[in-house]
Amino acid sequence: MRRRTIVIPIIAVVAVGALAGAGAIAWAANSGRPAEQRSVATAEATPTPTPTLDPFPRRPLTSETRYVALGDSFAAGMGGGDEQGRCVMSDNSYPHEFATAAGIDLVADAACSGATTSDLLKHQLSALDDDTDLVTVSIGGNDLGVAEIASDCAAGKSVPCRTELTSALSLLNVLPDRLDLLYAAIAKAAPHARIVVTGYATLYEVTDPAAKDFGTATAINVATIGLNQVIRQAVDKQRANGVPITFVNVDFDGHGIGSAHPWINTSGPTAFHPTAAGYREYARELQRLLGVAG
């Protein structure tokens, strides 16, 4: 619990304060995104110790590897183009891109846009079984209402933006327990699988302190960093308990909103979700993590 209470005040001060006016923007101007990350990292307590034997085994992926994808819109591929169905799924999603690059068998893509941790527990675990070799999961953002926050804050709706940020910061207190339950359930449903949890890429390229939306962009980025930290800590806890699980961060540095070539959709119903290029970067991170050439 001590680690959670350290994280949340920092995110609260920065994220809500960045919407309050010049003082927070001045803080952001002196910090920038790399410094934000350092500030959050500095506040972390000593990491949860891991077992002497790494529970996440290094073994090659083959055409016989049975892979299942779980999660929300970031796993479903919303924003990747040619989305279909109730779950707004795209063949340009990172699970499909990764499975093709790695030459493995994507036996089930159970991801669904809008899914929360509760939805995943209720509707997606049935895709797993004793024969599952690899699981990827992107989840947690909808528990905090991240999509609504980004939309309202970017649209300049200051009151809803502040309200939603405050609510999200409060929910960061309960998200670790939800993630603990979820990751344990995935490990139980797929007892022979390695589990890879993906983080959420930061949305904005924060470079110009004089920009009109600099404070809002900084707030959203720092909130995302806080969410990723909570997810990573929950993964570390499970790994310390012997679960073969790991976290992979996805960096859109140089390709956020405001860059020359953003990997984030900036308008329409898929706004604030990765483009097809963004999902390819997710797939590349998985390739690097799991030793797949490409």
Burial class (CB in 10 A: 0-12, 13-18, 19+), 63: exposed
Tens of pLDDT, residue by residue over 127-177, are: 999 999 999 999 999 998 877 777 778 777 878 888 887 777 778 889 999
pLDDT of residue 147: 75
Inter-axis angle of helices 214-240 and 146-154, nearest 10: 170
Cα 254 to Cα 265: distance, rounded to the nearest angstrom: 15
> Which candidate in 73, 93, 113, 138 is catalytic?
73
Is there a catalytic annotation at residue 126? no
Q: Tell me: pLDDT of 20 over 70.
A: no
Q: Tell me: pLDDT of 220 over 90.
A: no
pTM > 0.75: yes
Using CA of residue 37, residue 38, residue 44, residue 47, what is the dihedral sign?
positive
Write out the two tokens for 69: 């994808």
For the ranges 7-16, 18-27, 190-199, 271-280, the lowest mean pLDDT is seen at 18-27
Cα 152 to Cα 72: distance, rounded to the nearest angstrom: 20
Q: How many structural domains compose the chain?
A: 1
Q: Tell me: pLDDT of 222 over 80.
A: yes
Tens of pLDDT, residue by residue over 48-89, are: 554 557 899 888 999 999 999 999 999 999 999 999 999 999
CB-based contact 123:69 (threshold 8 Å): no
CB-based contact 112:72 (threshold 8 Å): yes
> Which candidate in 93, 113, 255, 273 is catalytic?
273
Cα 262 to Cα 264: distance, rounded to the nearest angstrom: 5
pLDDT of residue 294: 38
Is there a catalytic annotation at residue 123? no
pLDDT of residue 50: 47
Distances, alpha carbon 205 to alpha carbons 78, 119, 164, 240, in Å: 21, 31, 22, 34
Write out the two tokens for 160: 């809803």
Write out the two tokens for 113: 């846009």
Which residues form the domain of 123?
2-290
pLDDT of residue 48: 55
pLDDT of residue 64: 96
Average pLDDT in the chain:
83
**3-state class (DSSP) for residue 235:** helix
Query: Which residues make beta-bridge pairs with 240?
Result: none
CATH number at residue 92: 3.40.50.1110
Tens of pLDDT, residue by residue over 229-246, are: 999 999 999 999 999 999
Distances, alpha carbon 95 to alpha carbons 81, 100, 186, 251, in Å: 14, 9, 17, 17
Distances, alpha carbon 35 to alpha carbons 29, 40, 101, 215, in Å: 10, 9, 34, 15
